[in-house]
Chains A and B, each alone.
Chain A
Amino acid sequence: MKWNSWLKRRWERQMDAEFEFHIENQTREYVKHGLPQTEAQLRARRDFGGLDLAKDECREQRAFEPVNRLFRDLRQAIRSLRRAPGFASSAILTLALGIGANTAIFSVLDAVVLRPLPYPEPDRLAVVALYNPALKYSTYLSYPDFLDWQRGAKSFERITALSPTRGYDVTNPGSPEHVNGYEVSANFFQTLGVTLSIGHPFTAKEDQPGGAPAVVISNRLWRERFGGNVSVIGKSIVLEGAGYFITGVLPPDFRFESQPADVYIPIGRSNPLGFRQDRTNHDILCVARLKRGVSIGQAHAEMDMLQEQIDRLNPDTEKALSTHIVSLKQELTGDVGQTLTLLLGAVSFVLLIACTNVANLSLARSAARVREFSVRRALGASRVDITRQLVTESVLLSLLGGAVGLLLARVAFGVVLRAAPVPLAGVIDAGLNMPVLLFAFLVSLAAGIVFGLVPALRYSRTNLEADLREGARGSTARRQGVQNVLAIVQIALAFVLLSDAGLLFRTVNNLWAARRGFDTQSVITFQVGLSPFVKQSASATRTSYQQLTARLRDIPGVKAADITALLPLGQGDNSGPFWLGTHQPASMSLIPRANWYPTGPDYPRSMQIPLRRGRYLSDADNVHSPLVILIDTVMAHTYFPGKEPLGQILTIPHWGSVGPVTARIVGVIGHVEQYGLNSAGSAKPQIYYSVYQLPDEALPLFRSEVTFVVRTMTEPGRVLASVREAVHDVIGDQPVYNIRTTRELVSGSIARQRFPMVLLAAFSVLALVLSCVGIYGVVAYSTAQRVPEIGIRMAVGATRWDVIRMLLRQGLRLTIIAVGIGAAAGLVFAKVLSSFSNLLYGVRTTDPLTFAAASLILAAAALLACFIPANRAARLNPMNALRHD
C-alpha cells in the first residue's frame, strides 16, 4: 500500500512537472514576442485550458485507473452514508429482509433440488418400474421380472433390486431394538457406487435361495453393538430370531431414502410364500446405473422392447405391460422442486417491494442533495460520474443488506427445511455453500444497481435549476408521481401474495375438513414388538394380539380397539389381484387388483367406517372357518352394479403358500382414502379380511406391519400411559413405537399444501409490513409538503377532522387504484398457482371470499399507514404550520 501511494505520488509529480515545462516554454515564447513576464505567464496558463481537467483526463488514461476510481467512489460512498445513518440503517434493514428471504428459499431449493445425490455420478442412477398403460400407473416389479431384466437389459451398467423397508427386531448382541432394514441384491452398493468402511457386501452366491445368511450393517449399529471394533467381520447378529453373520459395515454418512436403515440382507435368499417366483407379486423396487452416454429415453425404449418380449413369453401373467424410468433424483425429490420454484417466484415479490421502498427512500434523500450534485456537475463531472457515484452508494447499501440477509437466511433455512415435506431431509446439511453465497451476492448487486439507477436517472441531469430553487424539498409534482407509482406497485405485489396465501389457506382448511371415509378424530395408532419366542409360533402371535386387544378395550376412556396391517392416508398400500367367481380367467394380466386390508374383526368399527350392507367381520372368523371378506362401496359399485354383492364368491390367487382360494362377501363398508385426496389411486377398490384367518405361514409376512388402533372418548394422548401399562402386562418388556394419532396422519397427508401455505403467509406478512412502510413514507412526504396549506386552512376554521379527511383523500385514491390493480394481478397469479402441481383443492381460482378478504386487509393496513402521518399533520399548531417553510 505504501509502495502504491509512493508510486502514485511520483507519477503525479512527473505529470505536474511535464505540464509546468510546457507552460514555461509557452511563456518564453510569449516573452520572445514582446509580452511582459507576468502577462506571458498568465496567457500561457490560460492557453492551456482547464489544467485540472486535463490532469484528470490524463489520470483516466492510466491502466489501473478504473480500480482507483472504484476505491475513490467507495470511500466517497462510505462517507456519504455515514452522514445519513437513519437512511442507511432503514435501507439496510429493508434490503436484509428482502434478500434474506430470497436467499433462504434459494438455499432450500439448492439443497433439495439442485445439489446432486451423494453418490458418484448420480445423474446416471435411475429407478425402473413396470407401467400399466391401460390403467396409467407404474408399479414395482416381481422378482422373476427383475431377473429377466438383469439378464437382458443392455442400457445399464448395473441393475439392482431391493424390497421396501421392513422392520427387524435385533437382539444379540445387546438389548432388543427395532430397526429398519432392506432386502437388496448383492450388487446394490456397487450400483450406487458406495464403498463400505469395513469389509465388503455379500456375494452373488449368498444372494440365492439357500445362500449363507450374510448381512451388511450400518455404521451406527456397528458402533453401538460392536463398540466400533474393526474385527467385526464374521461376527454374528440375531435378526428376528435368526442368526446372520456380518460381511461389511457402511460408512457413517450413507443414506438411501429418508428412513435410516440399519441392516441389509440378501434379497435372493428369502422366498416368503414363494413370492420370488411369482410374477404377479409386485414388491421389488429396481434401481439401475445407466451406461455412460446412454440417455433415459434410449434406455426406456430398450426396456419397453425387452418387456414386450417378456410379455410374449409369459402370456399368462403379463400382458401389455411396459416400463417407466425416472432418474433417482426425481423419484426422491418428487414435486417438491416445483413447489419450491413457485415459492422462489413468490419471495422475489417481497424483494421487489423492499427495493421499491429503498428506491423511494433514495429519491427522497437525493432530492436533498441536489445542491451537491449541481456543484459537482458545474465542476465538470459528467452525468455518468454522478450516476456512478449514486449506483456505488446503493450497491454498497445492498451488499451490506445482503450480508445481514445471509445471516437471517441461515436461521430461516433450518426452520423452512424442517417444515418442508422433503424426503431427503436427513441428507441435507444446513451449510451456506457457494451457489447460495453467489446467489445472495448477485441478487444484492442487481438490487443495488436497480434502485440506484432510479434517483440517478432523475438527478444526474444538467438542468437542476428547478430543483435548486425548490430547495431541500425538491420538485414536488414529478417526484410525487414516481412515489405514487412505486407505492401502487408495492400494494399490488402484496395483494398477489396475500390472495395466493388465502387460496392455499382455504385449500388446507378444505383438506382438513374433507371426508376420508373414517372418523379421523380421537384415534391413536402404535406398533408393538413381540418377543422372539412368541414370533416363532403363529398361534402364540395370534394369542398375543387377541389378549392385548382385549386388554386395551378394558382401559377406561377407550371406546374400541383392534389391529390392522394397513393404515390409510398414505401409509403405504397392499395391492393384490383377485377375480370374481371361481372361473380362472384366461390371462392373469387381465385380472383386477385391489388394496387388501388384513385387520382384526373390530377394526372397521374402531375406525368408524360405516357399514352399508351385511355384517362386519367377527371373532367367529378364524383359520378353521370359511374365508369371508368385506368389500368397500367402490368395489360394490364397480363389480356388482345394481346387483346384490352379499354372498358372492371371489377367488384369491395366493393364500399363504396355497393356490387359489375362494372367499365369500359378507359385508359392504365405506371407502377410505388410502392415498392423497384427488390422487390416481383414489378409486382403487378395497377388500378387508380378518388377520386371524391367515394361514400360519403367512402371518410372519404381515407381522411387522401390524398396527394397533385405539379409539378414545377424549384426547387420545391421555390413554398413552395406560396403553404402555397394558402392553407391559400382556406382552412384557416390549417397545411401543410409531405412536401417532390419526390427526397426525391427516396432517402429514396435507403437508404438501401446508408447506407453501405457511411460507406464502409469512411472505404476505413481510410484504404487507414493507408496503405499509412504503405508503407511510409517501403520505408523510406529501403531507410535509402541504403543511403551509394546512396552516392556512386551520387558521380559517377547518377542524382537525377536515384536515385529516383532506389528507386521506390522496391516500385513499392510491389505495383504491392499488387494490384494483392488485386484484387483477392476483387473479392472474392465482391461475399460475393452481396450474402448479395441483396445489389447490376445493377453491376456485377466482374465489370471491379470498379476494374480498385480501382487499379488506390491504385497504385497512394502507389506510392505517396513511392515517398516522395525516393525524400528526392535522395536530399541528396553525401558527407553527404557517411559519414552516
Chain B
Amino acid sequence: MTRQVEQRPSVDVDLLQGTLDMLILRVTALRPIHGYAIGQRIQQLSKDALRIRQGSLYPALYRLEERGWLKSSWETTEGGRRAKFYSLTKAGRRQLETERAGWDRLCEAISLVFETAAEE
C-alpha cells in the first residue's frame, strides 16, 4: 500500500537575498553542514514555515563562499558518501552578528509602528 505524500502546510517563501544569506549563516554557525541539510534545517527550525528553493539555495551558498563568509570542504558523511560541507569563517561570524543586529532593529522598528498605529 502506498501512502500519499502529505501536503505540507508550508509555503514556498521567496525570501529576499539578504534574508536568505542571514539564515544560511545562522545554520552553518553551529557546525559544518552540507547544502541539502541546510535546506532541511531551515525548514525544521522554522517549523516548516520556510521552505527554501534549491534554485535559490545553491547560488546563495556559492555567493557567500565567494564573499569569504563561508568555507567549504569535501568530507565523508555518516552514510559513507562524499559531500561538500560548508562552515562559517571568522568574517562570516562577524557578518552574522551584524545582520542579526540589523534584523532585530528592523523588527523593533516595525513593531513600534504597529503599536503606535494601533493606539491611534
Contacts and interface: CB of A to CB of B under 8 A. Distances in A.
Nearest to B61: A58
Interface residues of A, number: 26
A51 to B, nearest CB: 9
B33 to A, nearest CB: 12
A22 B3 contact: no
Given A14-B74, A47-B54, A57 B59 contact: yes
Most buried by B among A18, A34, A49: A18
A84 interface: no
A48 B56 CA distance: 10
Nearest to B65: A61
B58 A19 contact: yes
Given A14-B74, A18-B83, A33 B5 contact: yes
B66 to A, nearest CB: 5
Contact of A14 (B34, B36, B84): B84
A297 interface: no
B47 interface: no
Interface in B61-80: 62-63, 66, 74
Contacts of B63: 61
Nearest to A33: B5
A35 B58 contact: no
Interface string B32-67: 001110000000000000000111001100110010
Contacts of A57: 55, 58-59
Given A21-B83, A61-B63, A48 B5 contact: no
Interface residues of B, number: 19
Nearest to B54: A48
B36 A60 contact: no
A34 to B, nearest CB: 4
A26 B74 CA distance: 19
A48 B55 contact: yes
Contact of B62 (A36, A50, A62): A62
B78 to A, nearest CB: 12
B60 to A, nearest CB: 9
B62 A21 contact: no
A600 B63 CA distance: 93
Nearest to B62: A61
B25 to A, nearest CB: 16
A18 B84 contact: yes
Interface in A234-258: none
Contacts of B7: none
Contact of B3 (A26, A34, A58, A62): A34
A58 to B, nearest CB: 5
A223 to B, nearest CB: 66
B51 to A, nearest CB: 10
B34 A63 contact: no
Majority secondary structure of chain A interface residues (helix, strand, loop or mixed): helix
Interface in A31-53: 33-36, 47-50, 53
A331 B59 CA distance: 65
Nearest to B83: A21
B54 A58 contact: no
B49 to A, nearest CB: 18
Nearest to B4: A34
B31 interface: no
B58 A33 contact: no
A48 B74 CA distance: 22
Contacts of B84: 14, 17-18, 21
B2 A58 contact: no
A17 B2 CA distance: 31
A10 to B, nearest CB: 11
A54 interface: yes
B74 A61 contact: no
Nearest to A49: B55
B55 A61 contact: no
Most buried by A among B3, B55, B74: B55
Interface of B: 2-3, 5, 34-36, 53-55, 58-59, 62-63, 66, 74, 81-84
Given A18-B84, A26-B36, A61-B62, 15 more contacts: A17-B84, A18-B83, A22-B35, A22-B54, A25-B36, A33-B3, A47-B54, A48-B54, A53-B55, A54-B59, A57-B58, A57-B59, A60-B59, A61-B63, A62-B62
13 contacts: A14-B84, A17-B82, A18-B58, A21-B81, A21-B82, A22-B54, A30-B5, A33-B5, A49-B54, A54-B54, A57-B59, A58-B62, A63-B66
Interface of A: 14, 17-19, 21-22, 24-26, 30, 33-36, 47-50, 53-54, 57-58, 60-63
- Nearest 6 A/B pairs, CB to CB: A57-B59, A49-B55, A61-B62, A34-B3, A25-B36, A61-B63
